């Protein structure tokens, strides 16, 4: 394997000399003489070591009055890294020097993100740098992590209602492309969960929980609890992503560690409104313990329960819906509208016949029983189509000349 050359190749005339000159103005401890000797001798490794070991010189990139000058100087320093052998270790050290000091202002965070972006563009340690960028941006999420921002746009997924599988955030697609390990993914997911507001973190909580197997530790169990609470609090928004939650090892561990929370999740995943009512009567304190709003829970459970009912019947009388959802008959249409607006149900209402005709509905639970039911329906459909084809053949034979 060829070794990386440490000889200096200037990207511009006297680039390193100008870098040393700027940094020496900010640091009394930086030895200009030693730096110049490295430059004249073409020793990029030693020059890089001298600069990075000088705390005042490294701090200068964050304190220069002109942000563009700071970024340009930092780019010159990063250009030195590309001439040396130990890129990964050096890049990690540079990132730590940028993020080490606290960020008291939005301007300081902007400066740090600009410097980190220079490191990110090196295409070395990209995931580590991204992790540092999200951690830094977390000081002002409403500014740097909005869905319209550069970092925030990586956290959203392109929505495709026709896709069989739920779409993934752009960041996850990048991690897949880069072949990032589960352990490394977990680190960046943990940071993202810690900096995003509650109404946006659930998708990454699910990804974080998925990264754990049976060897669950304390943070993994805590993440499982948070993901469970998020799924109960809003089971509609990420329905497809949360539908298989009960099958994750980290979530299954809650059956032993937090039985009441596990039981409530199971009802939201598979149960009906009557199951929810019975649960609340026996576990009245669970909702308050996990800061769950009773009114919102009832509303969502009625939508989910109606979806289960629609998955079992193509036509549903109003009274059956009223009985299933424990509501007055004159509020049934409102319940149907709420389910349709959620995107989980497509149906039409026949007000004269007092029936709901189901056109399409999500399936909340799909295991062996559902496969058997689907097989039965396909066999019936095949038999009916076969009968039609046979009748058509007989008709054509009878009318043939």
DSSP label at residue 358: E
Q: Where are the domains of the chain?
A: 1-100, 297-372, 373-401
Please enumerate, as own/partner, the contacts of 279-283 that have beta carbons within 8 Å and a separation of 24 or more. Answer: none
Q: Which long-range contacts (CB under 8 A, 24 or more apart) does 47-50 make?
A: 47/8, 47/16, 47/80, 48/77, 48/80, 48/81, 48/84, 48/90
- Walk along the chain (401 residues) and give the pLDDT tens digit of each residue: 333 333 344 445 588 888 899 999 989 999 999 999 998 888 888 988 899 899 999 999 998 989 999 999 999 888 888 777 667 888 888 888 888 877 679 999 999 999 999 999 876 778 999 999 999 999 999 999 999 999 999 999 876 644 556 678 999 999 999 999 999 999 999 999 999 998 899 999 999 999 998 777 889 999 999 999 999 999 999 998 898 899 999 999 999 999 999 999 999 999 999 999 999 999 888 899 999 999 999 999 999 999 999 998 999 999 999 999 999 999 999 999 999 999 999 999 999 999 999 999 998 875 556 556 656 667 777 878 878 887 787 777 777 66
Q: Is 272 helix (H, G, I), strand (E, B) or coil?
A: coil
Residue 106 CB-half CA count within 13 A: 6
Give the N- to C-terminal CA distance of the chain in Å, as an integer. Answer: 83
Task: Report how far residue 43's alpha carbon sits from residue 80's, in angstroms, rounded to the nearest whole number.
Answer: 10
pTM of the model: 0.81
Which CATH topology does 297-372 take? Arc Repressor Mutant, subunit A (1.10.10)
Q: Are 191 and 135 in contact (CB under 8 A)?
A: yes
Q: What is the DSSP letter of 247?
A: G
């Amino acid at each position: 394997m060829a070794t990386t050359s440490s000889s200096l190749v200037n990207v511009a005339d006297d680039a390193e000399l100008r870098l040393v000159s700027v940094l020496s103005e900010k640091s009394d401890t930086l030895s200009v003489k030693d730096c110049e000797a490295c430059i004249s001798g073409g020793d990029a490794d030693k020059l890089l070591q001298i600069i990075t070991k000088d705390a005042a010189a490294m701090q200068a990139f964050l304190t220069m009055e002109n942000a563009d000058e700071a970024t340009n100087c930092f780019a010159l320093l990063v250009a030195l890294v590309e001439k040396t052998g130990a890129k990964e270790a050096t890049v990690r050290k540079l990132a730590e020097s940028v993020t080490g000091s606290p960020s008291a202002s939005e301007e300081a965070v902007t400066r740090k993100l600009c410097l980190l972006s220079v490191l990110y563009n090196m295409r070395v340690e990209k995931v580590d740098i991204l992790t540092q960028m999200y951690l830094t941006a977390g000081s002002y999420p409403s500014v740097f992590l909005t869905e319209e921002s550069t970092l925030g746009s990586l956290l959203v997924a392109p929505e495709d209602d026709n896709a069989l599988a739920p779409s993934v955030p752009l960041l996850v697609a990048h991690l897949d492309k880069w072949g990032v390990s589960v352990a490394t993914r977990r680190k960046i997911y943990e940071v993202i969960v810690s900096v995003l507001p509650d109404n946006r973190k659930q998708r990454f909580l699910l990804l974080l929980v998925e990264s754990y197997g049976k060897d669950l530790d304390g943070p993994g169990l805590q993440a499982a609890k948070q993901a469970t609470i998020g799924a109960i609090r809003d089971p509609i928004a990420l329905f497809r992503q949360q539908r298989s939650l009960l099958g994750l090892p980290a979530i299954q561990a809650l059956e032993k560690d937090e039985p009441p929370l596990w039981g409530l999740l199971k009802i939201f995943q598979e149960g009906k409104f009557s199951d929810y009512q019975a649960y609340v009567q026996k576990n009245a304190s669970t909702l308050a313990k996990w800061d769950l709003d009773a009114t919102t829970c009832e509303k969502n459970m009625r939508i989910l329960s109606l979806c289960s009912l629609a998955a079992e019947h193509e036509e549903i009388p109003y009274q059956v819906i009223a009985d299933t959802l424990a509501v007055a008959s004159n509020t049934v249409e409102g319940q149907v509208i709420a389910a349709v607006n959620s995107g989980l149900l497509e149906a039409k209402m026949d007000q004269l016949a007092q029936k709901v005709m189901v056109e399409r509905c999500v399936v909340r639970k799909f295991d062996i029983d559902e496969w058997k039911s689907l097989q039965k329906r396909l066999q019936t459909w095949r038999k009916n189509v076969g009968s039609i084809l046979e009748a058509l053949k007989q008709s054509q034979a009878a009318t043939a000349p």
